[in-house]
Structure 1
Amino acid sequence: MDLVEKFDAKGKTGAAYHVEVYQTPIETSDEGSPGSKTYQLTDGRALDPLSDAKFKIVQTGEKIYRV
């Protein structure tokens, strides 16, 4: 997996988080196809993307928002 993006996010309590986005390259003849993306906090906790700007921390259920 390749690190393709980093951004900051905040929870409702104002807690700050750093998010990393990893993408798995797809090896096919169609070079325009993006691979699947994985979102996680810098501490390794997994995120479920709810939209482009809203995510849920899998372990706690807390929703965080891109800033």
Structure 2
Amino acid sequence: MDLVEKFDAKGKTGGAYHVEVYQTALEEADKAAPPGLKTYKLADGRALDPLSDAKFKIVQTGEKIYRV
């Protein structure tokens, strides 16, 4: 996977987070990871579920964070 984007996000309590977006390259694609599939993670490695283009949920804690 290739790092394709980085941006900052904030939680409702004001906590700041750094988000990294990874995308599967076409030549790396296989049945487990279709080409172009994006994966969102915090800089510390925790997984994110995208809820919209600007809203994400930290899988580990359930906290919702927002792109700034």
- If the length of structure 2 is used for normalisation, what is the TM-score? 0.87
* Aligned residue in 2 for 1:12: 12
* Aligned residue in 1 for 2:32: none
Which ranges in structure 1 are unaligned for 5 or more consecutive residues?
29-33
Identity of aligned residues (%): 89
* Aligned residue in 2 for 1:47: 48
Which protein is bigger by CA-based radius of gyration? 1
* Aligned residue in 2 for 1:31: none
CA RMSD of aligned residues (A): 1.3
Give the Cα separation in 1 of the matches to 2:56 and 2:26. 24
Give 4+ residue runs of structure 1 displaced > 4 Å after superposition: none
- If the length of structure 1 is used for normalisation, what is the TM-score? 0.88
Q: Which moved more, 1:19-28 or 1:50-59?
A: 19-28
SS in 2 for 1:61: coil
Aligned residue pairs total 62
> Within 5 Å, which residues of 2 pair with 1:24-63?
24-27=24-27, 35-63=36-64
Which ranges in structure 2 are unaligned for 5 or more consecutive residues?
30-34
